[in-house]
């Protein structure tokens, strides 16, 4: 079974990753340790600023590959899904 062909499993896996994934950093002994709060949701709750977008992206893709493309996708989704009365400007 390929996960991308099963909508329930794909959604379940994405939700699990979102809740369980945490940012890591290297300490002074070059050992990976937790960085801040657990889960991507903590970083996503920081808002829609450029800094918050970068923090969420670093949780998923530490190399920040194609960030400018994802930033445009985020802005589009934010306008459609947010609860604000006016659009983000």
DSSP characters over 5-52? G-HHHHHHHHHHHHHH---EEE-TTS-EEE-SSSSHHHHHTT-SSHHH
Q: Are 54 and 64 in contact (CB under 8 A)?
A: yes
- The pTM (predicted TM-score) of the whole model is 0.66
pLDDT digits (tens, 9 = 90+) for 12-38: 988 888 888 777 778 889 887 777 666
CA 43, CA 8: separation in Å to the nearest integer? Answer: 25
4-8, 21-25, 44-48: least confidently modelled range: 21-25
pLDDT digits (tens, 9 = 90+) for 47-84: 889 998 998 888 888 788 899 998 999 888 888 888 77
């Amino acid at each position: 079974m390929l996960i991308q062909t099963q909508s329930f499993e794909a959604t379940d896996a994405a939700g699990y990753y979102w809740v369980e994934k945490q940012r890591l950093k290297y300490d002074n002994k070059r050992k990976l340790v937790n960085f801040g709060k657990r889960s991507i949701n903590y970083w996503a709750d920081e808002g829609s600023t450029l800094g918050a977008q970068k923090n969420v992206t670093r949780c998923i893709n530490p190399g920040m590959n194609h960030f400018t493309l994802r930033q445009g996708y985020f802005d589009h989704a934010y306008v459609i899904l947010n609860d604000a009365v006016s659009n983000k400007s």
